[in-house]
Amino acid sequence: MTVELSRRRLLASFGAVAVGASAATVLVERTASASDAVPSDVVPFRGAHQAGITTPAQDRLHFVAFDVITDDRDELEQLLRRWTLAAERMTRGEGAGPVGAVDGLPDAPPDDTGEALGLSPARLTLTFGVGPSLFVDADGRDRFGLASRRPEALADLPGFAGDRLEDAWSGGDLCVQACADDPQVAVHAVRNLVRMGMGVVRVRWAQLGFGRTSSTSDSQATPRNLFGFKDGTSNLRAEETAELDTHLWAQESDGAAWMAGGSYLVARKIRMTIETWDRTSLKAQEEIVGRDKREGAPLSGGTEMTAPVLGELPPTSHVRLAHPQSNNGVRMLRRGFSYVDGADSLGRLDAGLFFLAFQRDPRTAFVAVQRRLAASDALNEYLVHVGSALFAVPPGPGEGDFWGSTLFA
């Protein structure tokens, strides 16, 4: 079916180019930039799970973490209801509000800011999460009567060796992950949610990512990260349906029934010291990663998708330490993006990986793996973790539900 739809789209696009109309050429561009074998440029918003997790990873990211600045639970809940409707509209390629940027009341601010007018939905997904601080604040206060509903899996992340975390890139009561194949579509969505949240939430931090570093579907080619290596080869993928309930989706039996069908998101801003990396020999780079640079094959032999023979890889190589076999079989669905935030005060490119990983329980997944990596990974010489956040990502909203409605019910 995927191929069927792609055929129709490409044939339609070809017709559009032939007539040379500018609106039509925009269609070509936007349609085809929906990457790899994508059946449509609209990703359904409602369902058992939120979109933007097993959705084939889009090309661009705008991630935002919010502080809730109201003490009024009703006010927060009303915002979540309004956000949900706006998010659903925007994922369909519509404006954030019913009146719009260009059909609005002339004496009122537009319901939508307008910069995505005429753009395709670009496979926009908006994925919502709640942080530990929404349940209990730093003073131990039950802010919204939710403290008893905090899942055990949403335990604060411990510190790891080598962490150099900054408040400016850490924490958050709420988050929204906007992914799309067009950055303007992702930026537009975040900007409109921020606008709607005025007085109820405030942006705590935000991060743009320009290129995906993982595949979350067998249909996608493996991208390269800023080390120049293929990344995410052994990532958990949408097609591994039997594995998803084990490793990705929270289950009712896990304790917090409102999270059943949801997942837990760990976000880490990982600065890469690429200038140092770039002075490292090819051989050293490959031994540090544990894969060859061209194919991405494990150094134990084979091709990219060949399972590594861990005992034949350097003991501190990243692949060996991060591999499920080294971590009690634990797997995560990684969905990170490369970022460049300009240059730092020393003239180094301020660049790295904005790591995003979804999992059923961070205590046995991210925390366990990162403990091992932080202790021994040869890549650590070229990495600094500067930001960290953890969110519970509720199940997908059904018809009439809103983001987090199972939590607030």
Binding to its own copies in span 96-115, by CB under 8 A = 101-110, 112-115
Q: How near is the Cβ of 201 to its own copies at its closest, in Å?
A: 9
Q: Is 408 left (phi over 0), alpha (psi -120 to 50) or beta?
A: alpha
Residue whose CB is less far from its own copies, 13 or 127: 13
Residue whose CB is less far from its own copies, 142 or 275: 275
Residue whose CB is less far from its own copies, 17 or 307: 17
State which of residues 158, 228, 255, 398 lies at the interface with its own copies (CB under 8 A): 228
Q: How near is the Cβ of 389 to its own copies at its closest, in Å?
A: 14
Binding span for its own copies by CB under 8 A among 170-178, 341-349, 372-380, 391-399: 341-349
Q: Any contact of residue 370 with its own copies (CB under 8 A)? A: no
The amino acid sitting at 407 is L
State which of residues 78, 184, 300, 380 lies at the interface with its own copies (CB under 8 A): 184
How many residues of this chain bind its own copies (CB under 8 A)? Answer: 93
State which of residues 72, 92, 117, 315 lies at the interface with its own copies (CB under 8 A): 117
Residue whose CB is less far from its own copies, 142 or 312: 312
Q: Is 355 left (phi over 0), alpha (psi -120 to 50) or beta?
A: beta
Q: Any contact of residue 191 with its own copies (CB under 8 A)? A: yes
Q: Helix, strand or coil for residue 385?
A: strand
Binding span for its own copies by CB under 8 A among 42-50, 150-158, 343-351, 390-398: 343-351
* CB 57 within 8 Å of CB 211: no
Element (H, E) at 135: helix 132-135
Residue whose CB is less far from its own copies, 31 or 370: 31
CA distance 200 to 67: 9
First to last CA, the chain: 38
188 CA to centre of own chain: 17
Residue whose CB is less far from its own copies, 106 or 400: 106
Paired tokens of 166: 């900054």
54 to 93, contacts with its own copies by CB under 8 A? Answer: 60, 62, 64, 67
Handedness of CA 86, 89, 92, 95 (dihedral sign): negative
Q: Any contact of residue 208 with its own copies (CB under 8 A)? A: yes
Paired tokens of 205: 């931090």
Nearest to 176 by CA among 163, 192, 152: 192
* CB 134 within 8 Å of CB 353: no
State which of residues 48, 257, 307, 343 lies at the interface with its own copies (CB under 8 A): 343
State which of residues 165, 200, 238, 351 lies at the interface with its own copies (CB under 8 A): 351
148 to 177, contacts with its own copies by CB under 8 A? Answer: 168
State which of residues 45, 229, 249, 382 lies at the interface with its own copies (CB under 8 A): 229
Residues with Cβ < 8 Å from 202, sequence gap 6 or more? 66, 67, 69
Q: How near is the Cβ of 323 to its own copies at its closest, in Å?
A: 22
Q: Any contact of residue 220 with its own copies (CB under 8 A)? A: yes
Q: How near is the Cβ of 390 to its own copies at its closest, in Å?
A: 19
Q: Spell out the SS3 assignment of 187-241.
A: HHHHHHHHHHCCCCEEEEEEEEECEECCCCCCCCCCCECCCCCECCCCCCCCCCH
Paired tokens of 333: 């669905």
Q: How near is the Cβ of 170 to its own copies at its closest, in Å?
A: 13
Nearest to 363 by CA among 290, 264, 278: 264
State which of residues 45, 128, 144, 227 lies at the interface with its own copies (CB under 8 A): 227
Q: How near is the Cβ of 18 to its own copies at its closest, in Å?
A: 6
Phi/psi for 185 (5° steps) reads -70, -40
Length of the chain: 409
21 to 50, contacts with its own copies by CB under 8 A? Answer: 22-23, 25-26, 28-29, 31-37
Q: Any contact of residue 244 with its own copies (CB under 8 A)? A: no
255 to 314, contacts with its own copies by CB under 8 A? Answer: 274-275, 278-283, 285, 292-294
Continuous H helices in 234-325 = 241-247, 274-277, 282-289, 318-322
335 CA to centre of own chain: 5
